[in-house]
Amino acid sequence: PSNSSSFNFILVLIPSLLVLHPSALPILFQEELMNKEATEGEAVTLHCKLSKSAPVEWKKGSMVLKPSEKYKIEQEGPFAELMIQDLDLADA
């Protein structure tokens, strides 16, 4: 029997849009963010793909996540990724 626990993560990725022209196409998710199951103390990576490159924010509830020892945030073009280090129950 293992003493570690598994839990699901549900984080919301919200594209930040600056509409410069009324005819600009909206930014859509090409690949939706998927729930991940992970073990306490380990790391988990969440990712998604947008229809075109745009700045994104990762949020947990109303709190905007910033790069730190805990959160690694990367974006290359339309691909956005969040890695959460050293998981604990508060990260669920």
Q: What is the pLDDT of residue 55?
A: 87
Q: Which domains, from first to last, does the chain contain?
A: 25-91 (2.60.40.10)
Q: What is the pLDDT of residue 22?
A: 54
Q: What is the mean pLDDT of each run of 10 residues along the chain (92 residues)?
A: 56 53 72 82 90 88 92 93 92 84
Q: What is the pLDDT of residue 36?
A: 83
Cβ atoms of 92 and 7 within 8 Å: the answer is yes
Q: What is the pLDDT of residue 35?
A: 80
Q: What is the pLDDT of residue 19?
A: 54
Q: What is the pLDDT of residue 91?
A: 85
**What is the Cβ-side half-sphere exposure of residue 57, based on CA atoms within 13 angstroms?**
10
Residue 32: CB atoms within 10 Å: 8
For residues 14 and 21, what is the distance between their CA atoms, to the nearest angstrom? Answer: 20
For residues 6 and 33, what is the distance between their CA atoms, to the nearest angstrom? Answer: 19
Q: What is the pLDDT of residue 90?
A: 87
